[in-house]
Structure 1
């Protein structure tokens, strides 16, 4: 049946019943999982090229990748095997196009016994290099650490929303590609190394974070640890809210459909950013350009009182009454006619003047959200004469949209599209992660406080609901790390470079619960790439602790203000 894990009939002919017993991930009352055991691949990659097999799967190529052909932060990645293939090729009965789930798998010669599923961002449609990287400038990745890593296109081979006309492609994108690929990659790993992965992990940011959050509920019996970045786990509603925000910005006098930035210019954004910092920067004990206690900031900063109002024309030193009204509505979260929020509110943070903010609020509604909502998320999709993107008018869709109707459509179904996007794109009961919890699984979630498209408030609300569901004990298996100043997955006025995979592994396999994660800034000499939005008065190697919610990084009052050691999570 589509959407369920495929039968392991072929797998059973390839490995012993003892192996099947060993890889079974049935729920257990045991809270501690055993560590992975490394294995070395002795044979050459090309030697098993004709031996790999799994049902409904085609292997296109198996090749050796020499040490140093790939690197991360200037460090050579060891020799490994690259496997490319696809699953479930078919012809759509709706749009007549061919579809398949494309993938690549990288298998280290020196394997650490672990698998990582690399979930990708955007609307997928491309098989990205299976490296298993994470936020900001990379300092390491899963492949470098010795993981076997899989990456996929989630069931369509172009990053265009037109795949949304095929009902099965929608479901594959939402969650079923993961359901098909997971038993397949575990089988291939077993065929190559002689055993299945001892431990399996799932990681991604943005839509990849959504994939990870979905997997933590739908496939919690198949994965042991989940690293979730900026999870747009209610992505259809976030996209509709961004369209609603564009319509609000258009209402500011002097703004046109071709230039939404005229509603709230970069100069005006910097004005507000400065005002937010003036009110909130010192709440953590140090004025350093980072607002650690963003929740307290929302009660201290007042847009109307703390930002000058224009008496005459706009000159960048003030906001008009119309601007304040619109900005307040956007950050409070656009609402339906009945007063309910479409999605979530967004906190005021220093990053309101990040370039990322401009792109997501002014460009993305027309260039991204319009296509995703109209073709993938709503039921039925918009009527296009030949199902081609060239026939679609993004600005027309956005600026003529009835937001209440769009929300109804992302919850709708019909004869062809029998699962609504708010089902296939979202976790099942996200506040209930008891299956993962009971079998010893762990989840770590990070989210930029200045993320302009998926709100850190939405993620905080999820974590608090999870904690309530677990009677205040969610921290025993789940952690949420807000990243002050960080934009969407990376960048902004932030320390956005950190390794959260290593502490996740140590938590899952050794029971070492993280107390903090050290993050660093990315100056011009950073081997993982520079963050061009770093303030000039910051050290290029500034470090800070990322603290698990609800604790906040607070200055100790006497240490070096550029060093993480001078802060405590409290």
Structure 2
């Protein structure tokens, strides 16, 4: 990786750095010459569809249906998808230790005119539902793998009930959700492709956003030989830690909330939850966003409502200094000292009682105004994260009490095992060696590639956590990480999409060009989703932006800087440098 990235500050103890250097000295490094691009995939035509239901056989697999889908019957945004075969089935049907029926349900979509490539679609949240296998990564990146001609698989990761955590009581279901569903589905999917086309995939890719990004990073560490390209969005690769940090954050923000104020529970209309947003209102968040813009907007050469120079902004902006302090009643234009203390502590990163970090800090960015930001900060620490931490990630499973939880004791339960749960929640969810990712070296050596993107204003999985992983990767790969992985921060974007951002982009096609053509992505054009956008409008675009604004997404550590002339709404007038 280039010298400017390696020289940036990284918050690690000197002793840890020395140990890492000692360990690296004993490891094989990547050869000096970059590996040649992998051979390009070659297309093929679907030989049959309906017959697959009766002819395909694979261990522990039942094909339930295989149905032709006409061109235009499935859409990607407002664009019709070409004719394909929809295969539905399940693997490893079983009776769980809790007496419930389990299986890894899936669907595969096999294009009539196939490009020779396979895409594993990692889904988000707690999985639990088979999402349409279009290979699309949410409201932001709008070009899906199926539309590009890939054969695509999607699954429920081994349990049913979208966003339902109670599968976490069943040990094998935990493991399937964590990583084993990908390991089981991948060889079956490749065999199904071979049956359908007369040959297996020439190149295989895996991608997703949020938990889907975590699936991709875990696959790289655990089944790296199976995939050639990894498209990793907003990776919750330390999901148990991030979820515990959410609970800690909720306790900090509860101190600011109006006593007795409540809002409706998002999943239970008969219940209410404390109104954490009353302690940091939308108007107050706009005040903070304006202060960030005042200090940081022009650092990239243009005052345009976007902070491209994220790292420089962290040094330039100080919440306590740069946001007015209330001298009287709160009126939205200032913050009280208590607000500043609590909000600053959340951005600095959750900690255990003795100061040990639970999770990463979060970067300041004007995307703090986003509705998705508010949901993750004010609602999910009460309704979602306690269930996942308590039931899916803890050994043994046990209830979490928001606002009063013993964080130190819960941290221990994330790492515990017992006779029933033989792998800890932290272990089954996170990539092995995520603190020192030397296990990426074999992937890099054989020519596999990874492209990562992350909204700078993601409020649950920190873009700084992703940046720090890239720095650890660079050390582990002896300073050559940019020959294997590229990281694209998305200024203003919230979790996977939304916020005041140019959040519509395609990173899959650049990943393919890198894997199969040797062309490393450096600048990828992203656009705002105005009312006429084919993938649906982003209601949070500022009124003074062009609805068709474009910007280059730049591979870190380069920054999209204004060239000094030309329309600031056009990416052509910015350069990554």
Alpha-carbon distance in 1 for matches of 2:350, 2:46: 54
Aligned to 1:203: 207
Alpha-carbon distance in structure 2 between the residues aligned to 1:276 and 1:255: 29
Match of 2:315 among 299, 308, 313: 299
Root-mean-square deviation (CA, aligned residues, Å) is 1.4
Show CA shifts across 1:41-85 (max 9, x none): 143x11332101111011111101000101223222111101000
Partner in structure 1 of residue 109 of structure 2: 106
Question: Equivalent residues in 2 for 1:93-492 (5 A)?
Answer: 93=97, 95-137=98-140, 139-159=142-162, 160-252=164-256, 254-256=258-260, 258-382=274-398, 397-430=401-434, 431-432=437-438, 433-492=440-499
d(CA) in 2 for partners of 1:369, 1:515: 35
Alignment match, 1:561: 568
SS at match of 2:194: helix
Unaligned runs of 5+ in 1: 1-26, 384-395
Q: After superposing the two structures, state which structure 1 stretch, 171-180 or 249-258, moved more.
A: 249-258
Deviation at residue 30 of structure 1 after TM alignment: 4.8
Aligned length: 530
Counterpart Cα distance in 1 of 2:444 and 2:99: 43
d(CA) in 2 for partners of 1:253 and 1:435? 50
Deviation of the 1:134 alpha carbon: 2.3
1:537-556 equivalent positions in 2, closer than 5 A: 537-556=544-563
TM-score by length of 2: 0.90
1:462-504, CA deviations, whole angstroms, 9 ceiling, x for partnerless residues?
0011011122210011000000000000010000000100000
Q: Is the contact between residue 136 and residue 490 of structure 1 (CA under 8 Å) also seen in structure 2?
A: yes
2: CA distance between counterparts of 1:346 and 1:228? 19
Does the CA contact (< 8 Å) of 1:208 and 1:229 recur in 2? yes
**1:253 CA drift (Å):** 6.0
Deviations 1:410-445 (A, max 9, x none): 111111011011111011123221121111100000
- Once residues 294 and 279 of structure 1 are traced to their aligned partners in structure 2, the CA distance between those partners, rounded to angstroms, is 11
Deviation at 1:527, TM superposition (A): 1.1
C-alpha distance in structure 2 between counterparts of 1:49 and 1:354, whole Å: 46
Deviation at 1:507, TM superposition (A): 0.4
State TM-score, norm by structure 1: 0.91
Q: Give me the whole-angstrom Cα distance separating, in 1, the residues matched to 2:513 and 2:35.
A: 17
In the TM superposition, what is the alpha-carbon distance from 1:136 to its structure 2 partner? 3.1
Q: Is the partner of 1:494 in helix, strand or coil?
A: coil
Kept in 2: contact 1:249–1:255 (CA 8 A)? no
Q: Which is further off, 29-38 or 207-216?
A: 29-38
Identify which of 39, 63, 72 aligns with 2:76. 72
Q: 2: CA distance between counterparts of 1:329 and 1:278?
A: 22
Which consecutive unaligned segments of at least 5 residues does structure 2 have?
A: 1-29, 261-272
Q: What does the per-residue CA deviation read over 1:520-565, in whole Å, with 9 as the maximum and x for residues that have no partner?
A: 0000111110000000000111000000011111100012111111
Q: Distance in 2 between matches of 1:55 and 1:149?
A: 20
Inter-CA distance 120–139: structure 2 relative to 1 (3 Å threshold): closer
Change (3 A) 1:371 1:139: closer
Q: Is the 8 A contact 1:107 1:149 kept in 2?
A: yes
Displacement of 1:288 after TM fit? 0.2
Q: Distance in 2 between matches of 1:262 and 1:110?
A: 54
Q: Is the 8 A contact 1:292 1:554 kept in 2?
A: yes
Does residue 1:37 correspond to 2:42, yes or no?
A: yes
**Separation in 2 of the partners of 1:515 and 1:60?**
43
2:514 corresponds in structure 1 to: 507
Distance 1:425 1:555 in 2: 40
